[in-house]
Amino acid sequence: QAVPHRCCGTIDDAMTAASRTPVRLVVGAAIVDDLERPTRLLSARRTEPSALAGGWELPGGKVDEGESPLSALHREVLEELGVRIRLGVHVPGPLPGSTWPLGDRYEMLVWLAEVVEGDPQPIEDHDELRWLELDDLRAVGWLPADLPIVETLEAMLAGP
């Protein structure tokens, strides 16, 4: 018989939660033109999978097994956009661990970043990049999961 606990439901609830497939960690870069004085944010239009194609997102991707989130972020940005970046602050999300929810299967850690080498090009996973003025961040159709992150960035990056 399930024993209810005053804080967190029944033991069955806890067992169910523990047995859920663990979420996969994704990392994303909110690339601005200048970390010290940001005026623009880089958005990227996805080409796949078909369910997400055409949606705009922060570049990034899955952390591989045995890889640190920061290494994964530098690798993904280099693979996808062909640039090296310098990281700024972490953009805290609402979930435990400061991650952002991406559907049921993924959670994303996000950092501010700026390009230190190269000129971003849509090399892999995207077919178009666009620099958005900070007062016009909704000019593209963001993926639903990225929209709350963009709203947070809007507030974080707003000038004095």
Cβ atoms < 10 Å from Cβ of 29 = 27
Under the binding rule (CB under 6 A), the answer on residue 47 touching ligand C5P is no
**Which of 63, 72, 73, 102 touches ligand C5P by CB under 6 A?**
102
State the Cα–Cα distance between residues 100 and 77, nearest whole angstrom: 19
Under the binding rule (CB under 6 A), the answer on residue 81 touching ligand C5P is no
From the number of C-beta atoms within 10 Å of its C-beta (0-12, 13-18, 19+), residue 23 rates as middle
**Which of 57, 107, 120, 129 touches ligand C5P by CB under 6 A?**
57
**In the complex, minimum distance from the CB of residue 122 to ligand C5P, in angstroms, rounded to a whole number:** 13
**SS3 state at 102:** strand
Give the interface with ligand C5P as residue ranges (CB under 6 A). 26, 28, 52, 57-58, 60-62, 102-103, 106, 125, 143, 145-146
